[in-house]
Structure 1
Amino acid sequence: MGRKNESPVSQFVLLGFPDAKQFQPLLFSFFLVIYLLTVTGNVLIIYAVKRDHRLHKPMYYLLVNFSFMEICYISSTVPNMLFNVLLVQHTISVLGCITQCYFFFVMGALENYLLALMAYDRYLAICNPLRYPAVMTTRFCSTLAGGCWAVTFLASIVPIIYISRLQFCDSNEINHFFCDISPLLKHSCSDTTVFKQFFFTMVWIIIFSCFLTTLISYLHIIKTLMQIPSTTGRKKGFSTCTSHAIVVTMYYGTVIFVYVRPMASDSTEMDKVVSVFYVVLTPLFNPFIYSLRNKDVRKALAKVYVENFSVCSNRSM
Structure 2
Amino acid sequence: MYRNRTVLSEFFLIGIQTHNVPSRILFFAILLFVYTTTVTGDFLIFVLVSTSQRLQHPMYFFIKQLSLSEIVFTTNIIPNMLGIILLKGGVISFVGCISQFYIYIASGSVESLLLTVMSYDRYLAICHPLQYTYLMGLQLCRNLTFLCWTSCFSLVLITIILICRLDFCGPNVIDHYFCDFAPLVELACSDTTILRMEVIVLSIPIVLSTFLFIIVSYIRISTAILKISSNNGRQKAFSTCSAHLASVCSYYGPLVVIYLVPYRKNSLNVNKFLSILYTVGTPFFNPLIYSLRNHEIRDVWRKYFNVAMA
State the TM-score, normalizing by the size of structure 1: 0.92
Q: Given that residues 183 and 266 in structure 1 are in contact (C-alpha distance below 8 angstroms), is that contact kept between their aligned partners in structure 2?
A: no
Q: Deviations over 1:227-266 (max 9, x none)?
A: 0010100000000010000010111111000001123788
What's the counterpart of residue 16 of structure 1?
15
What's the counterpart of residue 56 of structure 2?
56
* Aligned equivalents of 1:191, 1:266: Cα separation in 2: 22
* Aligned equivalents of 1:178, 1:20: Cα separation in 2: 20
Q: Given that residues 59 and 118 in structure 2 are in contact (C-alpha distance below 8 angstroms), is that contact kept between their aligned partners in structure 1?
A: yes
Matched ranges for 1:1-317 at <5 A: 8-19=7-18, 22=21, 23-263=23-263, 268-310=268-310
| Cα RMSD, aligned residues only | 1.7
* Aligned equivalents of 2:274, 2:12: Cα separation in 1: 21
Unaligned runs of 5+ in 1: 1-6, 311-317
Structure 1 SS opposite 2:18:
helix
Amino acid in structure 1 at the alignment position of 2:145: A
Task: Give the deviation of 1:88 after TM superposition.
Answer: 4.7
* Aligned equivalents of 1:264, 1:288: Cα separation in 2: 34
Note closer, same or farther for the CA distance 1:225–1:89 as it changes in structure 2 (3 Å cut).
Answer: closer
Task: Give the deviation of 1:33 after TM superposition.
Answer: 0.9
Note closer, same or farther for the CA distance 1:267–1:161 as it changes in structure 2 (3 Å cut).
Answer: farther
* Aligned equivalents of 1:26, 1:173: Cα separation in 2: 25
Task: Give the deviation of 1:167 after TM superposition.
Answer: 1.8
Note closer, same or farther for the CA distance 1:21–1:193 as it changes in structure 2 (3 Å cut).
Answer: farther
Q: Given that residues 182 and 263 in structure 2 are in contact (C-alpha distance below 8 angstroms), is that contact kept between their aligned partners in structure 1?
A: no
Task: Give the deviation of 1:136 after TM superposition.
Answer: 0.3
* Aligned equivalents of 1:283, 1:267: Cα separation in 2: 24
Structure 1 SS opposite 2:79:
helix
* Aligned equivalents of 2:114, 2:265: Cα separation in 1: 25
* Aligned equivalents of 1:71, 1:179: Cα separation in 2: 18
Q: Given that residues 163 and 195 in structure 2 are in contact (C-alpha distance below 8 angstroms), is that contact kept between their aligned partners in structure 1?
A: no
Q: Deviations over 1:84-143 (max 9, x none)?
A: 223254111111100000000001111110000000000000000011100100011110
Bigger Cα displacement from structure 2, 198-207 vs 219-228: 198-207
Aligned length: 305
Task: Give the deviation of 1:57 after TM superposition.
Answer: 0.7
Note closer, same or farther for the CA distance 1:49–1:264 as it changes in structure 2 (3 Å cut).
Answer: farther
Task: Give the deviation of 1:50 after TM superposition.
Answer: 1.9
Q: Percent identity?
A: 39
Q: Deviations over 1:171-226 (max 9, x none)?
A: 21111110011211111111111211211231233111110111111111000000
* Aligned equivalents of 1:134, 1:289: Cα separation in 2: 28
Note closer, same or farther for the CA distance 1:78–1:104 as it changes in structure 2 (3 Å cut).
Answer: same
Task: Give the deviation of 1:8 after TM superposition.
Answer: 3.2
Q: Given that residues 69 and 108 in structure 2 are in contact (C-alpha distance below 8 angstroms), is that contact kept between their aligned partners in structure 1?
A: no
* Aligned equivalents of 1:265, 1:183: Cα separation in 2: 9
* Aligned equivalents of 1:307, 1:282: Cα separation in 2: 31
Amino acid in structure 1 at the alignment position of 2:52: D
Q: Given that residues 175 and 267 in structure 1 are in contact (C-alpha distance below 8 angstroms), is that contact kept between their aligned partners in structure 2?
A: no
Bigger Cα displacement from structure 2, 199-208 vs 43-52: 199-208
Note closer, same or farther for the CA distance 1:89–1:208 as it changes in structure 2 (3 Å cut).
Answer: closer
* Aligned equivalents of 1:104, 1:264: Cα separation in 2: 21
Bigger Cα displacement from structure 2, 79-88 vs 144-153: 79-88
Amino acid in structure 1 at the alignment position of 2:179: C
Task: Give the deviation of 1:281 after TM superposition.
Answer: 1.0
Task: Give the deviation of 1:156 after TM superposition.
Answer: 1.1
* Aligned equivalents of 1:99, 1:263: Cα separation in 2: 22
Note closer, same or farther for the CA distance 1:306–1:105 as it changes in structure 2 (3 Å cut).
Answer: same
Task: Give the deviation of 1:21 after TM superposition.
Answer: 5.0
Bigger Cα displacement from structure 2, 85-94 vs 257-266: 257-266
Q: Given that residues 14 and 88 in structure 2 are in contact (C-alpha distance below 8 angstroms), is that contact kept between their aligned partners in structure 1?
A: no
Deviating 4+ runs (over 4 angstroms): 264-267
Amino acid in structure 1 at the alignment position of 2:282: T
What's the counterpart of residue 314 of structure 1?
none
